[in-house]
């Protein structure tokens, strides 16, 4: 706290201490306790208690009156001292420095009641709970959730072509009706309703999208006659074609919309979402504003609040004067921001870090709700809107949109003074790179366990640098006994950690899951070592060869591939860089020449000769900038960027095969479309799979019980059911659910580099079953030795480029590899 | 003792105590939990990578230090007798010390790369290219780097020693008919003996810093001729092989202490 206060020295320290000195930790704690005690009107009692009557009662009363007047100020100050950040000065970076974490550590929650006794736990924190939504029929879809001016929620839904509105009443019950303005012929003709909301003028508005064989159009409609009828808003911008061909005309589509009190329409176009346009009720363009399209904007009264483009901060635009009144500095992350503005001009912002608050005339951000501890940090959820209600403490409701389901959910954040300000148990999860499933699980687990905090340290978050430096830093921590409780082993020296007993046997967690049939046995069995289990992936992807039937059959070794190539006239696959070729085939066939940490010179020579044959056949090149970049990443992080060929290549070019990677059912759509169109087939590669998010337990972790409970939670259906596009679940029922899912509405189309179009729908039941059967037969995890791979690539490149002969290349590789393997 | 206390306390906390832990760990398993006796020492002494790195490091020291001493002494003698531009030349020799290692490495790469400037020149003159980085020539490149970087510092030290020799000794020798070689053999060399010892120790210490250049030129696994002890330590730490690093460190320290004792004995004999 003392350090945080130092960040805000200009505002607080200068005022309180006349110098840029900072509080000591105990000093700041004591001051915070005094201030909160004063706010709680307990200050005099504490003074009495500790001074044992030395201070007379009467002056204390005076003191109380004189000192307690600015309660709001006291509260603000206590809040600031507990949890200020200065987003404008990139507080997340400062947090990073302080905590050594990923900048998303809790930077403080709303201050609660703090006991005067030293060492007693501070109490009070915002707790998340799922708000109760109306009971809906099966198949009923939520179109939007909004809060009406009376402070009650309205949920708009669609079911079997009819639109419903559920209104919350004061007893927290939901009353259903069918709004006339939505249930009429004008609206029914539309295919999709987006952006239902109440304008500043009191009317309800909606965007309608219609698709025909010839055009796609978007219209704005508004409720009239108290919601009984509908009027179409005449917006000339939407009637001007954006692109027009002989077959199809595309009209502008609205991404997000708002209506000011004075009737000004504010919206951005999906085609150019960086530009926020303002139109008069008559349809005349008034102004436009450059914004960050990833963030939501807020229209309230005649004000517009939006995130400026290129991290320029939060813009306050006045709809009357049509000028930007002010800009507040704020560091955006990649997740959507959502705003709320109170009547006293207090601004609230929700992002993945939490709910940030700045009073109307303030300059400092405070984090009142820590996003790390709840759904805000879940990758699958995007904040859509934020509502504030007054009470003893402010209460917040956040509407989230689920990226997987496309549905909405409503979360309630209520201050609970009986919960400790900071969870009493804390564990740390370490990974080199962000893993979405783990991030999601952490948020879900914390939401269910108020008393547990899980720090997720992502060592290389957006940072460049040498991966070995990060590993050395981790090793230093492990040796000092300060390492993270749970290690995500992707890219880490797993064998060494196992050998050195850094990893603890987790068979007591995994075996019961296996016995209960929760884990895919063919995946988990690959991680049994001498009756122990040291690691387990939370996801996996499946490398697949797609191509002509003969090519698919001949993948048991590089020799068989080269023999097959000799029999065909067309290239074996699309072009790639040498580096990419080497990485892919090393991942699949390095066992051919590497056995028991020894390299067979002749077999390595054969391997490189075969690679040269494939490279010549496919016209591989040294400089494929995009692919080189991916491959370099792959070499750093193991498996993430292997097999990145696009199935469209096989549709577009006359080649025999391609190596692709399937991480979810969506990834099957285009391959199956190509298979149908070109009469191809596919198969897995000798039952190999790529593990993702390999979890290990640190044997010197401080809270192993909590860590084990979390690891166990990672494999539950609750976590594994969610599709975060980072791999298939290892949970048996979750993967079955994925494959059982029908999605008739899903349809994708791609245009190839040569202008050929290919499209496909959700895989049929038969296709899904066929692939599910293939998954049942994969059982070999692909393990890459990044150091050795790098040596082989560096040594082989001059040979592939023709700068040296095979003997010299192999000798160079053997020399370095021998050094590495004897170390 | 009182004056010694601050530095002694610092050395105790930051060097001696951590090293005691290193000694303890050298008899334990990788994570320092289980006592394993001398097993780690046997493991390290039988490790081929350790043997190679120790051999290379010793070879480098044995070759480089005498060469550096001779080269820098030769230049300093020339400089001492230089009448014009002496200060300019002295400063020029010190420049390499001021250039950051990363920049130096970039320069070496530019010069010694397969497609670098030197190979470009060789090709133009009809000579075959030389793979300086991935062949035995890497050792020569490393020696050149070390000499280039450290010669300036040694030159200054030699000059200080040379300037400390009274001119009257040379005058007296000249009066007795001594030639240049006789003056050098019987006056300069004996008078430089204390300086030689100091420069040798400093050069020995500096020789370990050459790892930076080797690492930046060729990474974790350079050509085996320039694979030094620091490469090995670096790689062992990456794979958390503390059961190997710690005994290797103890062995190195024992060797250094023996060498320093030898230097001290030599100095005593000189006195």
- Element (H or E) spanning B21, and its range? helix B17-25
Buried b (16+ CB within 10 A) or exposed e, A260-279: bbebbbbbbbeeeeeebbbb
Of A112, A91, A87, nearest to A103 by C-alpha is A91
Q: ipTM score of the complex?
A: 0.80
* B48 to chain A: closest CA residue: A822
Residues from chain B that touch A478, judged by Cβ atoms under 8 A, are 240
For B196-205, what is each residue's pLDDT tens digit? 888 988 888 8
* B228 to chain A: closest CA residue: A819
Put simply, the answer to whether A501 touches B223 (Cβ < 8 Å) is no
Residues from chain A that touch B248, judged by Cβ atoms under 8 A, are none
Q: What does the radius of gyration of chain B's CA atoms come to, in whole angstroms?
A: 23
- Is pLDDT above 60 for A53? no
Put simply, the answer to whether A475 touches B47 (Cβ < 8 Å) is no
**Lowest-pLDDT range, A94-103, A113-122, A422-431, A793-802?**
A94-103
Put simply, the answer to whether B224 touches A501 (Cβ < 8 Å) is no
Put simply, the answer to whether B47 touches A479 (Cβ < 8 Å) is no
Of A801, A795, A787, A823, nearest to A601 by C-alpha is A795
Structure tokens at A801: 């480029």
Put simply, the answer to whether A472 touches B241 (Cβ < 8 Å) is no
pLDDT-above-90 percentage for chain B: 43
Mark out chain A residues that contact chain B at CB-CB < 8 A: 468, 471-472, 475, 478-479, 493, 496-497, 499-502, 700, 787, 791, 798, 803, 812, 815-816, 819-820, 822-823
How many whole angstroms separate alpha carbon B259 and alpha carbon B271? Answer: 18
The predicted pLDDT at position A430 comes to: 96
| Confidence band of A579 (pLDDT split at 50, 70, 90) | confident
Put simply, the answer to whether A819 touches B223 (Cβ < 8 Å) is no
| Confidence band of B1 (pLDDT split at 50, 70, 90) | confident
* B234 exposure class (CB count in 10 Å sphere: 0-12, 13-18, 19+): middle
Put simply, the answer to whether B232 touches A823 (Cβ < 8 Å) is yes
- Is pLDDT above 50 for B47? yes
Put simply, the answer to whether B220 touches A700 (Cβ < 8 Å) is no
Put simply, the answer to whether B220 touches A787 (Cβ < 8 Å) is yes
The predicted pLDDT at position A596 comes to: 81
CA atoms within 13 A on the CB side of A564: 22
For A256-280, what is each residue's pLDDT tens digit? 999 999 999 999 998 888 999 999 9
* B114 to chain A: closest CA residue: A803
| Confidence band of A9 (pLDDT split at 50, 70, 90) | very low
- Is pLDDT above 50 for A500? yes
Of A455, A458, A407, A438, nearest to A726 by C-alpha is A438
Interchain CB contacts (distance < 8 Å): A and B: 62
Question: CB A464: neighbour CB atoms within 10 A?
Answer: 5
Put simply, the answer to whether A812 touches B31 (Cβ < 8 Å) is no
- Is pLDDT above 60 for A773? yes
* A477 to chain B: closest CA residue: B240
Put simply, the answer to whether A479 touches B31 (Cβ < 8 Å) is yes
How far off is chain B from A429, nearest CA to CA, in Å? 19
- Is pLDDT above 50 for A289? yes
Mean pLDDT within A709-738: 94
Choice between A84 and B104, residue whose per-residue pLDDT is larger: B104
* B30 to chain A: closest CA residue: A500
Put simply, the answer to whether B240 touches A468 (Cβ < 8 Å) is no
Question: CB A186: neighbour CB atoms within 10 A?
Answer: 15
| Confidence band of A756 (pLDDT split at 50, 70, 90) | confident
- Residue to substitute from B40, B123, B221, B243, interface A, most A β-carbons within 10 A: B221
Put simply, the answer to whether B49 touches A822 (Cβ < 8 Å) is yes
Q: How far is CA A245 from CA A213, A214, A215, A589, A754, in A?
A: 12, 10, 10, 49, 19
**Lowest-pLDDT range, A66-80, A276-290, A355-369, A381-395?**
A66-80
The predicted pLDDT at position A386 comes to: 93
| Confidence band of A614 (pLDDT split at 50, 70, 90) | very high
Put simply, the answer to whether A501 touches B114 (Cβ < 8 Å) is no
Largest CA distance in chain A: 104
| Confidence band of B178 (pLDDT split at 50, 70, 90) | confident
How many whole angstroms separate alpha carbon A746 and alpha carbon A406? Answer: 12
Put simply, the answer to whether B240 touches A496 (Cβ < 8 Å) is yes
- Is pLDDT above 50 for A105? no
Structure tokens at A627: 């692919």
The predicted pLDDT at position A51 comes to: 60
- Is pLDDT above 50 for A10? no
The predicted pLDDT at position A391 comes to: 77
The predicted pLDDT at position A362 comes to: 82
Put simply, the answer to whether B31 touches A502 (Cβ < 8 Å) is yes
How many whole angstroms separate alpha carbon A446 and alpha carbon A710? Answer: 10
Mean pLDDT within B217-226: 85
Mean pLDDT within A746-769: 83
The predicted pLDDT at position A575 comes to: 83
Highest mean pLDDT among A196-205, A462-471, B38-47: B38-47
The predicted pLDDT at position A120 comes to: 63
Closest by Cβ to B227, choosing from A472, A787, A819: A819
- Is pLDDT above 70 for A67? no
Contact A619, A570 (CB under 8 A): no
* A809 to chain B: closest CA residue: B134
Structure tokens at B62: 């044995």
- Is pLDDT above 50 for A73? no
Domains and CATH numbers, chain B: 1-37 (no CATH), 47-248+259-270 (1.10.3720.10)
For A791-801, what is each residue's pLDDT tens digit? 899 889 989 98
**Lowest-pLDDT range, A28-42, A379-393, A501-515?**
A28-42
**Lowest-pLDDT range, A153-167, A253-267, A620-634, B20-34?**
A620-634
- Residue to substitute from A470, A797, A798, A819, interface B, most B β-carbons within 10 A: A819
- Is pLDDT above 70 for A68? no
* A493 to chain B: closest CA residue: B239
How far off is chain A from B44, nearest CA to CA, in Å? 9
Mean pLDDT within A154-171: 91
Buried b (16+ CB within 10 A) or exposed e, A753-790: eeeeebebebbeeebbeebbebbeebbebbbbbbbbbb
| Confidence band of A211 (pLDDT split at 50, 70, 90) | confident
The predicted pLDDT at position A784 comes to: 84
How many whole angstroms separate alpha carbon A385 and alpha carbon A401? Answer: 9
Highest mean pLDDT among A634-638, A756-760, B68-72: B68-72
The predicted pLDDT at position B44 comes to: 94
How far off is chain B from A116, nearest CA to CA, in Å? 38
Q: How far is CA A550 from CA A545, A554, A555, A560, B234, in A?
A: 11, 6, 9, 11, 48
The predicted pLDDT at position A364 comes to: 86
How many whole angstroms separate alpha carbon B249 and alpha carbon B242? Answer: 10
pLDDT-above-70 percentage for chain A: 82
- What is the three-class DSSP state of A130? strand
Residues from chain B that touch A791, judged by Cβ atoms under 8 A, are 221
Put simply, the answer to whether A475 touches B52 (Cβ < 8 Å) is no
* B80 exposure class (CB count in 10 Å sphere: 0-12, 13-18, 19+): middle
Question: What is the DSSP secondary structure assignment for residue A562, as one 8-state letter?
Answer: H
Contact B259, B267 (CB under 8 A): no
* B233 to chain A: closest CA residue: A823
**What is the overall mean pLDDT for chain A?**
82
Closest by Cβ to A820, choosing from B114, B221, B240: B221
| Confidence band of A634 (pLDDT split at 50, 70, 90) | very low
| Confidence band of A804 (pLDDT split at 50, 70, 90) | confident
Residues from chain A that touch B114, judged by Cβ atoms under 8 A, are 798, 803
The predicted pLDDT at position B131 comes to: 84
Put simply, the answer to whether A815 touches B33 (Cβ < 8 Å) is no
Closest by Cβ to A475, choosing from B48, B223, B237: B237
Put simply, the answer to whether A787 touches B232 (Cβ < 8 Å) is no
Residues from chain B that touch A787, judged by Cβ atoms under 8 A, are 220-221
Put simply, the answer to whether A496 touches B227 (Cβ < 8 Å) is no
How many whole angstroms separate alpha carbon A520 and alpha carbon A724? Answer: 19
Put simply, the answer to whether B241 touches A823 (Cβ < 8 Å) is yes
For B89-109, what is each residue's pLDDT tens digit? 888 888 888 888 888 888 888
The predicted pLDDT at position A41 comes to: 60
Contact A664, A738 (CB under 8 A): yes
Mark out chain B residues that contact chain A at CB-CB < 8 A: 29-33, 47-49, 52, 114, 134, 220-221, 223-224, 227, 232, 235-242
The predicted pLDDT at position A612 comes to: 94
* A466 to chain B: closest CA residue: B219
The predicted pLDDT at position B246 comes to: 95
The predicted pLDDT at position A72 comes to: 37
Put simply, the answer to whether B221 touches A791 (Cβ < 8 Å) is yes
Put simply, the answer to whether B240 touches A493 (Cβ < 8 Å) is yes
How far off is chain A from B129, nearest CA to CA, in Å? 11
Residues from chain B that touch A480, judged by Cβ atoms under 8 A, are none
């Amino acid at each position: 706290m003392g350090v945080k206060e130092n960040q805000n020295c200009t505002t607080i320290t200068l005022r309180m201490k006349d110098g840029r000195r900072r509080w000591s930790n105990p000093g700041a704690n004591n001051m915070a306790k005094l201030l909160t005690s004063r706010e709680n009107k307990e200050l005099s009692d504490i003074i009495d208690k500790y001074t044992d009557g030395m201070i007379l009662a009467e002056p204390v009363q005076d003191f109380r009156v004189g000192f307690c007047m600015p309660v709001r100020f006291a509260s603000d100050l206590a809040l600031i001292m507990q949890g200020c950040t200065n987003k404008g000065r990139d507080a997340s970076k400062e947090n990073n420095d302080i905590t050594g974490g990923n900048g998303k550590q809790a930077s403080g929650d709303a201050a609660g009641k703090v006991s005067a006794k030293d060492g007693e736990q501070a109490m009070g924190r915002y707790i998340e709970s799922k708000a109760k939504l109306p009971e809906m029929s099966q198949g009923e879809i939520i179109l939007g959730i909004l809060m009406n001016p009376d402070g009650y929620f309205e949920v708009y839904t669609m079911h079997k072509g009819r639109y419903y509105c559920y209104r919350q009443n004061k007893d927290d019950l939901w009353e259903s009706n069918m709004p006339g303005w939505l249930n009429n012929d004008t609206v029914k003709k539309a295919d999709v309703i987006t952006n239902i909301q109440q304008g500043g003028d009191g009317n309800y508005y909606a965007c309608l999208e219609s698709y025909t064989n010839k055009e796609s159009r978007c219209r704005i409609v508004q409720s009239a006659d108290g919601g009984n009828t509908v009027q179409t808003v005449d917006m000339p911008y939407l009637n001007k074609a954006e692109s027009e061909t002989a077959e199809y005309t595309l009209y502008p589509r609205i991404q997000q919309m708002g209506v000011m009190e004075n009737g000004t329409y504010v919206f951005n176009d999906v085609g150019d979402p960086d530009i926020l346009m303002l139109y008069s009720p008559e349809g005349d363009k008034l102004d436009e504003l450059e914004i960050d399209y990833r963030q939501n904007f807020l229209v309230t009264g005649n004000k517009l609040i939006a995130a400026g483009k290129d991290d320029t901060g939060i813009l306050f635009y006045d709809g009357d004067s049509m000028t930007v009144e002010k800009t507040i500095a704020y560091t955006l992350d990649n997740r959507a921001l959502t705003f709320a503005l109170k009547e006293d001009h207090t601004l609230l912002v929700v992002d993945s870090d939490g709910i940030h608050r700045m009073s109307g005339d303030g300059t400092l951000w405070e984090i009142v709700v820590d996003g790390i501890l709840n759904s805000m940090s879940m990758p699958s959820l995007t904040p859509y809107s934020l509502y504030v209600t007054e009470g003893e403490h402010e209460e917040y409701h956040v509407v989230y949109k689920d990226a997987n389901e496309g549905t909405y959910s409503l979360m309630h954040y209520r201050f609970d003074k009986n919960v400790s300000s900071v969870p009493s148990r804390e564990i740390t999860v370490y990974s080199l790179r962000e893993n979405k499933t783990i991030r999601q699980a952490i948020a879900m687990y914390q939401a269910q366990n108020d008393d547990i905090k899980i720090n997720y340290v992502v060592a290389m978050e957006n940072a460049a640098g040498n991966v070995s430096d990060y590993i050395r830093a981790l090793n230093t921590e492990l040796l000092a006994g300060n390492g993270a409780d749970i290690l995500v082993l992707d890219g880490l020296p797993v064998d060494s950690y196992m050998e050195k007993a850094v990893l603890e046997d987790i068979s007591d967690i995994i075996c019961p899951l296996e016995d209960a049939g929760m884990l895919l046995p063919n995946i988990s069995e690959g991680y049994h070592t001498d009756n122990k289990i040291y690691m387990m992936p939370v996801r996996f992807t499946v490398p697949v060869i797609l191509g002509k039937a003969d090519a698919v059959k001949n993948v048991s070794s590089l020799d068989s591939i080269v023999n097959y190539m000799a029999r065909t006239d067309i290239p074996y696959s699309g072009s790639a860089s040498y580096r990419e070729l080497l990485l892919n085939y090393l991942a699949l066939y390095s066992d051919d020449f590497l056995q028991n940490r020894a390299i067979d010179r002749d077999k390595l020579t054969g391997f490189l000769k075969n690679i040269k044959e494939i490279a010549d056949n496919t016209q591989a090149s040294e400089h494929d900038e995009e692919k080189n970049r991916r491959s370099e990443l792959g070499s750093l992080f193991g498996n993430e960027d292997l097999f990145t060929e696009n199935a469209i290549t096989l549709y577009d070019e006359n080649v025999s095969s391609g190596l692709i990677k399937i991480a979810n059912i969506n990834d099957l759509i285009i391959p199956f479309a190509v298979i149908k169109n070109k009469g191809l087939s596919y198969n897995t590669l000798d039952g190999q799979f790529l593990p993702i998010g390999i979890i290990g337990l640190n044997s010197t972790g401080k809270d192993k019980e909590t860590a084990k409970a979390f690891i166990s939670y990672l494999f539950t259906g609750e976590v594994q059911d969610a599709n975060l596009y980072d791999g298939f679940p290892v949970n048996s029922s979750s993967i079955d659910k994925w494959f059982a899912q029908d999605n008739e509405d899903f349809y994708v189309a791609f245009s190839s580099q040569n202008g050929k179009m290919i499209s496909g729908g959700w895989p049929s039941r038969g296709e899904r079953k066929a692939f599910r059967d293939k998954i049942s037969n994969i059982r070999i995890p692909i393990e890459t030795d990044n150091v050795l791979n790098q040596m082989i690539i560096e040594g082989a490149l001059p040979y592939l480029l023709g700068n040296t002969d095979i003997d010299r290349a192999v000798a160079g590789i053997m020399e370095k590899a021998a050094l590495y393997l004897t170390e | 003792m009182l004056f010694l206390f601050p530095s002694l306390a610092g050395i105790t906390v930051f060097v001696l105590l951590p090293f005691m832990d290193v000694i303890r760990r050298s008899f334990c398993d990788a994570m320092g939990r289980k006592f394993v006796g001398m097993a780690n020492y046997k493991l390290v002494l039988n490790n081929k990578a350790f043997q190679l790195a120790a051999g290379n490091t010793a070879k480098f020291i044995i070759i480089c230090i005498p060469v550096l001493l001779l080269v820098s002494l030769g230049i300093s003698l020339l400089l001492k007798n230089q009448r014009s531009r002496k200060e300019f030349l002295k400063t020029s020799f010190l420049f390499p010390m001021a250039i950051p290692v990363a920049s130096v490495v970039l320069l070496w790469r530019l010069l010694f790369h397969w497609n670098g400037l030197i190979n470009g020149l060789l090709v133009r003159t009809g000579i075959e290219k030389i793979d300086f980085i991935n062949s035995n020539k890497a050792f020569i490149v490393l020696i050149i780097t070390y000499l280039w970087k450290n010669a300036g510092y040694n030159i200054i030290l030699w000059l200080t020693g040379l300037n400390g020799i009274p001119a009257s000794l040379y005058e007296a020798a000249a009066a007795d008919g001594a030639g240049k070689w006789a003056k050098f053999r019987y006056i300069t060399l004996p008078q430089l003996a204390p300086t030689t010892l100091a420069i040798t120790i400093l050069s020995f210490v500096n020789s370990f810093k050459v790892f930076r250049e080797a690492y930046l030129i060729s990474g974790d696994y350079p050509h085996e001729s320039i694979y030094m002890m620091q490469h090995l330590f670096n790689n062992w730490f990456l794979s958390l092989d503390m059961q190997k690093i710690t005994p290797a460190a103890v062995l190195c320290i024992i060797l250094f202490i023996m060498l320093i004792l030898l230097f001290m004995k030599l100095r005593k004999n000189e006195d």
